[in-house]
Structure 1
Amino acid sequence: MALKRIDVYVDEADLALIKDAATRLGVPEAEIIREGIHRIALAHRVRDEPFVTDEETFDLGGPGAKDSTRAAATGG
């Protein structure tokens, strides 16, 4: 992957957090910043197709009660 250089302005408190994380993990500060940018870019992407189609979903009979949900989750 080719990297492109950009200028970014960072709040001092955020920069301190980045420096601390980089030191703790033993990686360059730039790596922490690149990872953060990548995660946010993935979180805000828009897909052309739905994640699941209507044919791939199940009708569970409407909203369930709290007790039935807990029983289904715990097997009890």
Structure 2
Amino acid sequence: MYHSQWKTRRKKTTVVVDEEDLALIKGAAAREGRAESEYFREALHLVALRTRRWNEDWDIPRLDFGGPVAAEDIDRAVSDGVADAG
């Protein structure tokens, strides 16, 4: 679930939404026992995260598999992992 349990400052705003989208949110809220506003806060939070930009470079490690990796290699690794887990 979205971080609605966190104590954050909030500001009230008004948005215009598509009627069909609103109907879907109302239905989901009724089914799941959640407030409609939770869905809107969650959606706005996801958009806010998606638009965030960082000034510094990310420290992402580079993986070296010793050569090219083919789709068959990935399929085999996933199948082996599933077999080992089962």
Q: Which residue of 2 aligns with 1:37?
A: 44
Structure-1 separation of matches of 2:30 and 2:36: 8
1:67 is aligned to 2:75: no
Give the equivalent residue in structure 1 for 2:5. Answer: none
TM-score where L is the length of structure 1: 0.75
TM-score (norm 2): 0.68
Unaligned runs of 5+ in 2: 1-7, 82-86
- 1:66, distance to aligned residue in structure 2 (A): 2.3
Runs (5+) with no aligned partner, structure 1: none
Q: What fraction of aligned residue pairs are identical, expressed as a percent?
A: 41
**Large movers: runs of 4+ above 6 Å:** none
